[in-house]
Amino acid sequence: MICKTVKLSDLIIPKYHDTFNDISYVHKIFTSGRAGTKSSRGGIRAVYKIVSDPDCSVVIMRKFHNKLKKTVYKETLRAIRRLGLDKRDFKITVSPMEIKYLPNGNTIYFTGNDSIDDTKGMIDESKPIKLVEVDELTEFFDKGDGEDELANIEATFIRGNDQEFCMEYYFNPPRNPKAPVMQWVKKMEQRSDTIHIHTDYRDVPKKWLGQKLIDSALQMLKSDEKMYNWVWLGLCTGLDELIYYMFNKRHIEEPTQEILSDLKMLGIGIDYGQMNATTFECFGIDFKNRKLRGVDEYYHSGRESGHQKSPSQYANDFKEFVENIEKRTMNKVTFAVIDPSAKGLAEEIKRVCPHIKFISADNTVIKGINRVQKLLSFFIMTLSSKQKHAIDEFQLYEWNIDLVEKGQEVPIKANDHCMDAIRYYVMYVWKYLRRLLPFLIEKEE
């Protein structure tokens, strides 16, 4: 089974030792900040269980099936290697997604709760399910039925099992302490059959993490302590009324002509409104100095000006805006990321600017806000003084505090037109922008 040279204590942090083989708790909740090693613990626990127990099954779940392969399935395969086991002793399949230990026939089943009935039908009923791991628990509350859904999952898998049974839950806490998942945790903590263990990178041996990761955490602590407490320590820091609380005068910086002409990914985020404002926000990436540089802004509000423009007029304004930028920067604007609902405007602009590539924006609001916050926290994003409306909005854009009190993260629909346009650009070029951040383990969904 397990090689004599491999010790569990060398694979899991001390905070996990007492509960690793404990069967007295039916519910085990594991939370952490970044690099708290809870995912490693989950993979190792699942593999160790099917190898060490002569008669059992394990189920590993996420809310959605399409998230399994690159996350918990990959981590479980890694656990086989880390435990010093021979992959030839396992039957590993993707369709269905299963890992079977051949010497005893025990199996780990992977499923999303969107297909739980299918998974249940595949499980060998002669092998009792003794462990269910629920990964990224917040998804079950944000995109599912929360507590009711978890109760149904437990009832499904515990049925007919009079032997040991454990549900384990893994997630990074949200910022809002009043989020539904945190209210559920508080409720579960009152139960005698539940234990909650929280870790952060400081609980992990330094040699496991490497100095580069630790330096990254400390750099965030220096630049934005509140963000550090949430990202790295996994604390529910709460939400300031102001979304971009970290924005200040240091974020306003004029790029030199040399920088402008050398910018890459020179593009424009577009937020379109009819009576509401329409804005074009131009940015480019300065890889040499590790900056996202704001270049220029166009802003028109039909409501404020009393004059509503047609899509064709906005298209002509866009063409002029691009020509002025290209003349000033001696660089080419190559793409625009546009509000998904503004297809008509996109078609009008394509007619007058055929060289511009148009991309429908990813409008995942909270993820986009989180990414912009990181860029601001590390002073990677700067704005030009020409972006006057964007500068104003960064200092006015707020959370809906009434909904925050109810556990929801929803921005107020005001002072958000430039914020949306900038977020569209950031989301599209994130695969490049993340390289400018200090060493962070980004958990992209």
Long-range contacts of 396-404 (CB under 8 A, 24+ apart): 396/242, 397/242, 397/243, 397/244, 398/241, 398/242, 398/243, 399/239, 399/240, 399/241, 399/242, 399/243, 401/241, 404/176, 404/178, 404/239
pLDDT at 445: 39
CA atoms within 13 A on the CB side of 99: 26
> At the topology level of CATH, where does 249-436 sit?
Nucleotidyltransferase; domain 5 (3.30.420)
Supply the pTM of this predicted model.
Answer: 0.83
pLDDT at 240: 84
Q: What is the pLDDT of residues 238-290, one digit of tens each?
A: 888 999 999 999 999 999 999 999 999 999 999 998 778 999 999 999 999 99
Task: Report d(CA 222, CA 377) in Å as an integer.
Answer: 10
Mean pLDDT for each 10-residue chunk of the chain (445 residues)?
A: 70 95 95 95 97 95 91 96 95 95 96 72 81 96 92 87 90 94 96 97 95 91 93 92 93 95 96 89 97 97 78 94 96 94 90 92 94 94 97 95 90 94 97 85 43
What ranges do the domains of the chain cover?
9-209, 249-436
pLDDT at 2: 46
Q: Which two tokens stand for residue 63?
A: 């809310």
Q: What is the pLDDT of residues 111-144, one digit of tens each?
A: 998 766 656 666 777 899 999 999 999 999 998 9
The CATH class of the 9-209 domain is: alpha beta
pLDDT at 11: 95
* CA 380 distance to own-chain centroid: 19
